[in-house]
Structure 1
């Protein structure tokens, strides 16, 4: 099977699957090496971007998904009825931020940092599949350790946790005492 045919099959797999598809699953279906799958997908991503196609391939950790381009949102939204998903509350966003930067972390550690109870926020984040149980702490009561999911990365348009802004970027205050973000 030539590379052109492999690309065609991968594009079809990504289209029909809809959700992020693990590279290992593509490897299994095509019976080729995983590093070859990654190289072909990287080529496809570059081709899609170079040709300004209406679709793009997004990578999240070790999975890939076919998506529309963000810059086409205004046109696509005219055709589609927007979903009425509830947005995250400030409390949930604060909790999610702490988990993202301090993971793996227990509920009690999050509460100690926030200074308030976080049960509802954590439950909301688990229900929205932005946070998951990643283990248990080896101490009395064996508290649950929480971490972010690939859905978290996808929701915020990140490829990996390394793309999170550095905490130092959040430490500068303006003259009104408000956080002033500085990004390169």
Structure 2
């Protein structure tokens, strides 16, 4: 007689408990909150809501009444010592982000302006005293991107002569100014942009002018540009460049002295007179 075969059945109770414990641990890991990244410290957090609103109201009133952009230093007059005017301005700018007027920064200063998407509502109320000619617009663009630049350099870039009246018109608008004189024969005037130029076009600095890709995207450049065509990186340094002289007469006199010292011609002094020679009628030496 063959004895019955026994089948061993493993007791997986321990395995079930371990699996359940692993699932519970995984659930706890999923539910555990992620570490919160520290946010930048709010410079106005120590102020109460009422105090902060009062300071924002003061800034709002000063900016609204101003006829020109105001810098942070001018706005501190309406605040208390120790107030972070820049933090308050950023908060006020955020408050006006979705309104009909926005707080914008132009030429390093602050000003309320109509929202860009609502500008069409005011087109009929704007006055256009003078329409700039194509030559004036081209000259203005060359000065903005190539400053400091002389009239001869403008003509070289444009390929045609530039009328003095074109520069006079741009100076009347207040968009350009004489910077100095080039250290070259004739000492021609050098021209650059002004703060009024930045304010009119809504630029914080001259470096915000559109680059090559931006000009192409807006259709302002021909699609068939010559090889190697580039747009210069504009700069607006208030100080004179090494190849510039000041507009004052003193600078011109200093330059004349430098040229005289560097000259190979012998130096002549008008104050030195030659001693008179003895006349022929004097006594002869014996």
TM-score (structure 1 length as normaliser): 0.78
CA distance in 2, matches of 1:105, 1:11: 40
Higher RCO, 1 vs 2 (CA within 8 Å, ≥6 residues apart): 1
The 1:24/1:141 distance shift into structure 2, 3 A limit, reads: farther
1:108 aligns with 2:155: no
- How much has 1:33 moved relative to structure 2? 6.4
1:38 aligns with 2:86: yes
Q: Count the aligned residue pairs.
A: 172
4+ residue stretches of structure 1 with deviation over 6 A? none
Structure 2: any 5+ residue segments left out of the alignment? 1-46, 227-286
1:65-116, Cα deviation, whole Å (9 max, x unpaired): 11222322333446x3x31321221111100111111111122211222231
2:166 corresponds to which residue?
121
RMSD: 2.8
The 1:127/1:6 distance shift into structure 2, 3 A limit, reads: same
- How much has 1:8 moved relative to structure 2? 1.0
The 1:123/1:167 distance shift into structure 2, 3 A limit, reads: farther
Determine which structure has more spread, i.e. the larger CA radius of gyration: 2
Question: Which among 128, 135, 151 is matched to residue 84 of structure 1?
Answer: 128
TM-score (structure 2 length as normaliser): 0.52
